[in-house]
């Protein structure tokens, strides 16, 4: 019995030994299951492709609420990863969460670039594809306004678009882990040092940058993480939720896609080498990109332990945007756990809902 | 509420803490190594070699397959591109048909949007926007 005011007693030695033995047994049983079981299916929230163009698909998700907010939401995905990170299994899906909260959700999935897509540049995405999709959404929904949410490089595309279309249909803009000062991406900057990194030779030789190179570069940011992750997987093999989460994230992380060659060249030369967006010197399609021209309500969410888009590369974004109604949030988590999984479900998702709901009527 | 305490040390918890600490230390150390000019120079050379090997292999394989009168990867990709163009045209036709159908339905007073939930949702009362610049 615990004395009043005293800290509750922890498990006894006997209980602890029993627990460890049980876990060890479960590890063996479930370890065998692990190698025979399939990875959970992801990206299953019902949706319809309302527009297709090349590899681009504009999806409309079927509403899950009896009434929806007036303003539809467009999710803009990154160019370098698969879109299903925002639609993991039921209960772990950001898109499912938005639908249940009453949002009418569309998403631009860029698909897997084909060899011919090596010619695509930032201009194609920002001045052509995104405006095209916004026009489709306005026609499909019958609403003049759209809220836009961009994740990682999708956030970058979204702010570039909005800076060049300040009078466009976007009513609210939310970005997750969006880089703006590329000098803040210390390791990427170092690895693409113009003295040693011949981006022209790579793009001219390979066309699109192969997914294995993209994967290797992300892995090198945390070189010990893979081994430690596998040790943790073994340690938690008794825990079904942990194993399921591990398999989903591991599958997504390894499921990289090629980076369109010209866009890669432009990203390295203009953003990494010259840092032109941060210096207000970026020009797309002959038009200067000035982030202070963004005046719509703006939210930027960063992750405290983001190793891909470190805070140093993202923290200036809110200050550069011209909106009077703007907000920055710094949440616990990493680059991926910010948007997906149990961490996101308890932190980012409700915070975004609280911000967006009152601006969606 | 106070954390449960136990007079018995937990070696598993200590091992997990050591694992996390070791991972962080190794990441920091290796990142430091990878942040040097020597590493970048070596990586640049490796990338150039990789690109050159890929290019030479593609050209060599193309000549080899040509001699065997077999299609090369480029031929297959060209076919793929032509199929993609056909897909795009089909998608365009589908889009035009859908738009024509939607126009006809709208003129009949039964638009596709009418089949969807009404856009009447209001934020729940008491919804407060998230706080400024804080770690939650």
Every domain of chain A and the residues it spans:
47-357
Which residue shows structure tokens 């040693």?
A: A196
**Class of A47-357 per CATH?**
alpha beta
Q: E strand or H helix at A108, and its extent?
A: strand A105-109
Asked if residue B32 lies in contact with residue A234, where contact means CB atoms within 8 angstroms, the answer is no
Of B20, B95, B135, the CB nearest to A330: B135
CB atoms within 10 A of CB A324: 8
**Which residues have CB under 8 Å from A130's CB, separation 6+?**
A76, A108, A157, A158, A161
pLDDT band at A360 (very low <50, low <70, confident <90, very high): very high
Rounded to the nearest angstrom, the minimum Cα separation between B83 and chain A is 11
DSSP strand pairing (A326-331 vs A298-303): parallel
Q: Which of A60, A104, A152, A175 is catalytic?
A: A152
Interchain proximity B117–A68, CB inside 8 Å: yes
Rounded CA separation A157/A151 (Å): 9
Interchain proximity B54–A53, CB inside 8 Å: no
Question: Is the pLDDT at A35 greater than 50, yes or no?
Answer: yes
Of A4-18, A110-124, A296-310, A320-334, minimum mean pLDDT range = A4-18
pTM summary value: 0.84
Output the average pLDDT for chain A: 91
Helix (H, G, I), strand (E, B) or coil at B80: helix
Question: Does ipTM come in above 0.90?
Answer: no
E strands present in A177-233:
none
pLDDT in tens, A251-299: 888 888 899 999 999 999 999 999 999 999 999 999 999 999 999 999 9
Rounded CA separation A98/A360 (Å): 12
């Amino acid at each position: 019995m615990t004395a009043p005011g005293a800290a509750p007693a922890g498990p006894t030695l006997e209980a602890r030994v029993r627990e460890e033995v049980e876990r060890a047994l479960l590890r063996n049983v479930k370890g065998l299951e692990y190698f025979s079981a399939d990875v959970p299916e992801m990206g299953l929230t019902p949706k319809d492709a309302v527009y297709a163009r090349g590899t681009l698909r504009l999806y409309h998700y079927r509403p899950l609420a009896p009434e929806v907010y007036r303003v539809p939401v467009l999710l803009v995905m990154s160019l370098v990863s698969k879109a299903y990170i925002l639609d993991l299994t039921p209960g772990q899906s950001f898109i499912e969460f938005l639908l249940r909260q009453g949002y009418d959700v569309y998403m631009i999935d860029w698909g897997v670039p084909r060899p011919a897509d090596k010619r695509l540049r930032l201009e194609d995405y920002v001045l052509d594809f995104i405006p095209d999709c916004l026009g489709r959404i306005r026609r499909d929904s019958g609403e003049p306004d759209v809220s836009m949410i961009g994740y990682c490089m999708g956030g970058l595309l979204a702010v570039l678009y909005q800076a060049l279309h300040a009078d466009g249909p976007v009513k609210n803009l939310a970005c997750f882990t969006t880089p703006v000062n590329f000098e803040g991406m210390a390791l990427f900057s170092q690895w693409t040092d113009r003295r040693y990194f011949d981006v022209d030779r790579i793009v001219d030789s390979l066309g699109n940058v192969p997914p294995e190179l993209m994967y290797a570069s992300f892995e090198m940011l945390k070189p010990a993480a893979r081994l430690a992750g596998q040790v943790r997987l073994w340690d938690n093999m008794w825990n079904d939720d942990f194993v399921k989460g591990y398999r989903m994230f591991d599958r997504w992380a390894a499921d990289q896609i090629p980076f369109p060659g010209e866009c890669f060249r432009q990203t390295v030369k203009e953003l990494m080498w010259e840092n032109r967006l941060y210096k207000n010197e970026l020009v797309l399609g002959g038009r200067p990109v000035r982030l202070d021209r963004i005046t719509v309500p703006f939210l930027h969410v960063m992750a405290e332990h983001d190793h891909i888009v470190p805070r140093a590369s993202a923290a200036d974004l809110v200050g550069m945007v011209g909106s009077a109604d703007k907000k920055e949030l710094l949440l616990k988590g990493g680059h991926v756990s910010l948007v997906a999984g149990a961490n996101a479900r308890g932190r980012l998702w409700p915070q975004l809902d609280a911000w967006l709901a009152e601006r969606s009527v | 509420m106070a954390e449960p305490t136990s007079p018995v040390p937990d070696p598993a918890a200590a091992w997990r803490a050591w694992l996390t600490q070791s991972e962080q230390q190794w990441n920091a150390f290796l990142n430091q190594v990878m942040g040097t000019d020597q590493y970048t120079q070596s990586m640049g050379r490796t990338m150039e070699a990789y690109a050159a090997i890929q290019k030479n292999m593609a050209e060599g394989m193309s000549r080899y397959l040509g001699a065997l009168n077999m299609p090369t990867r480029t031929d297959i990709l060209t076919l793929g591109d032509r199929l993609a163009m056909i897909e795009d045209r089909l998608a365009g036709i589908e889009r035009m048909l859908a738009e024509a159908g939607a126009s006809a339905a709208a003129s009949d007073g039964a638009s596709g949007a009418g089949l969807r939930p009404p856009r009447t949702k209001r934020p729940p009362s008491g919804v407060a926007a998230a706080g400024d610049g804080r770690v939650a």
